[in-house]
Amino acid sequence: MKNVTVIDHPLVQHNLTRLRDRETSSTEFRRLVGEVATLMIYEATRSLAVGPRNVVTPVGKARGTKLTSRVLLVPILRAGLGMLDSILQLIPDARVGFIGLKRDEATLQAITYHQSLPASAAGYEVIILDPMLATGGSAIAALDLVKARGAKCVRMVNLLAAPEGIQAVLARHPDTQIYTAAIDQKLNARGYIVPGLGDAGDRIFSS
């Protein structure tokens, strides 16, 4: 599928299966979310720009590289927070913004209740973090907000995605790059991914 990358690395798939298991404790679930996010971000950032950097090792000179892309990580509250810390370990210089969205359970539409973003996102490689891409409502709302700040290159990293959510996002923002560990079967009547892994936020935060 164009603009969609399914990361089928064995370690990602092994840990995703553990995340799906309803017997996995909240403590373990939280750890696994961070671990899978770390593995996925390697693929999602493969095209970031680098420049040359020469260093002196203990035994001589070496040619190397340095990251030249400016990265803006944007977790969607609250579940996206479970992915943030582990990714910051790999990209400690990344800037971080936050978007708070909640779903109206009657209409399944996303309602924005918080946003903390740079005045301008132009020039940043924006990576939106959210464990689940379900109806696509939250993703579209987040994409609308960062693009209104001038973002041109936007990636989404989701542990799971539903076909309906992917279709909705790419219909509204066809240039978005989506990285996911799996595309599941469908959404149920409540807008939850089937088979999915339940409510990621509830399982991360034991609520």
As annotated, the active-site residues are: 103, 107, 199, 202
**Residue with the two structure tokens 């553990």:** 18
Q: Where are the alpha helices (DSSP H) in the chain?
A: 10-20, 26-44, 81-90, 137-148, 163-172, 200-205
* Maximal CA-CA distance, the chain: 65
CB 176 within 8 A of CB 156: yes
Q: What does DSSP say about strands 186-187 and 193-194: parallel, antiparallel, or unpaired?
A: antiparallel
End-to-end CA gap in the chain: 35
Rounded Cα distance between 114 and 181, Å, is 28
Tokens 């939850």 -> residue: 192
Q: How far apart are CA 41 and CA 83, in angstroms?
A: 10
On whether the CB atoms of residues 181 and 151 are closer than 8 A, the answer is no
> By C-alpha distance, which of 192, 172, 166 is closest to 1?
166
